């Protein structure tokens, strides 16, 4: 309780000192000037008109300007009192603004095709398209059927032994939010939906017949593979924009890191060791 009270008293004393400063009115320095530029006034008026579909009246515009002045006054006084120093949110916001400012300044080169092709070739399988599978599935849910789910799935598979098309099983199994017909999904998408064990089992299924049951988090599935497309590395022309974006991003990250390292040289970094549990900051227990 004592520390928050002490901080409150110190803050109150600082505010008192600011409010009752003996500096005479009208003697503000240039540093203390608050300038609301004409462009800012125009921006405020345009924002008002966009929201209310009419220009602001003289009184309304004066109120907007007054709020801008109030914001500047309280913002500057908060900085004077150091209210920004220990605020994690403020610190992170300012860090982000600084990084946004420097990232465009740090690297502003448009790469040519030779540079992008060299980057593309060095990336291995980064620009590869995963193998894709199209299949039908029928679910037998243990939640609804209990232990009978596996028995029913095996029996249904036997009944479908001579099926010549997947549509013969449309009315079988349990109602589910899962689609019964999945077309052209890559293995990552299938894994996200059904799990890695399902994907591994699906890889062994022959196309053009019902197989299973294959387990997933949803239950047991009978599946019919309707098509497979092998994975392939995409051509440069197919992903040029993506390659360009990735290259620029990596260059900006590297340039930002270089700027940070240069800035870091201005500072001496001291990291204090936390006191051991059960001891005070002064080392007394």
Q: pLDDT of 26-76, one tens digit each?
A: 555 566 788 888 888 999 999 999 999 999 999 998 889 988 888 888 888
Mean pLDDT value across residues 239-243: 91
In whole angstroms, give the CA distance from residue 76 to residue 202.
64
Instruction: Find out whether 135 and 223 touch, Cβ atoms under 8 Å.
Output: yes
* Between 198 and 281, residue with greater pLDDT: 198
Domains contained in the chain, CATH given: 2-21+31-86 (no CATH), 87-127+234-268 (no CATH), 131-230 (3.10.50.40)
- pLDDT (tens digit per residue) in 171-185: 788 888 888 888 888
> What residues have CB less than 8 Å from 260, skipping those under 6 apart?
none
Q: Which residues contact 22 (CB under 8 A, 6 or more apart)?
A: none
Q: How far is CA 132 from the centre of its chain?
A: 27
Confidence of residue 24 (pLDDT cuts 50, 70, 90): very low
Whether this prediction's pTM lies above 0.85 is answered by no
pLDDT at 284 over 60: no
What is residue 6's predicted lDDT score, i.e. its pLDDT? 46
pLDDT, residue 8, reads 45
C-alpha closest to that of 103 among 230, 282, 236, 250: 250
Enumerate the β-bridge partners of residue 215.
Answer: 220
pLDDT surpassing 60 at residue 20: no
Of residues 81 and 182, the one with the higher pLDDT is: 182
Residue 285 predicted with pLDDT over 60:
no
Look-up of token digits 């990336």: 123
pLDDT for 278 beyond 80: no
């Amino acid at each position: 309780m004592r520390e928050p009270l002490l901080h409150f008293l110190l803050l109150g004393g600082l505010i008192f000192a600011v409010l009752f400063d003996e500096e005479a009115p009208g003697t503000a320095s240039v540093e203390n000037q608050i300038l609301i530029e004409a462009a800012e006034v125009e921006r405020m008026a345009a924002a008002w008109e966009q929201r209310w579909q009419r220009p602001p009246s003289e009184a309304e515009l004066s109120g907007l300007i007054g709020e801008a002045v109030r914001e500047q006054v309280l913002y500057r006084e908060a900085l004077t009192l150091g209210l920004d120093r220990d605020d994690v949110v403020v610190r992170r916001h300012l860090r982000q603004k600084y990084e946004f400012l420097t990232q465009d300044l740090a690297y502003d080169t448009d790469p040519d095709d030779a540079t992008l092709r060299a980057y593309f070739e060095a990336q291995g399988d980064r620009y590869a398209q995963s193998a894709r599978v199209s299949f039908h599935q029928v679910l037998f849910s243990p939640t609804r059927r209990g232990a009978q789910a596996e028995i029913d799935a095996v029996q249904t598979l036997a009944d479908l032994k001579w099926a010549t098309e997947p549509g013969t099983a449309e009315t079988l199994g349990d109602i589910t939010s899962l689609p019964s017909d999945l077309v052209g999904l890559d293995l990552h998408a299938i894994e996200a939906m059904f799990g890695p064990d399902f994907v591994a089992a699906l890889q062994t299924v022959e196309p053009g017949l019902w197989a299973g049951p294959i387990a997933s988090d949803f239950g047991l599935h009978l599946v019919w593979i309707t098509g497979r497309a092998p994975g392939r590395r995409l051509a440069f022309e197919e992903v040029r924009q993506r390659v360009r974006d990735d290259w620029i991003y990596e260059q900006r990250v590297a340039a930002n890191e270089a700027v940070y390292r240069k800035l870091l040289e201005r500072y001496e970094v001291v990291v204090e060791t936390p006191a051991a549990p059960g001891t005070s900051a002064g080392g007394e227990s």
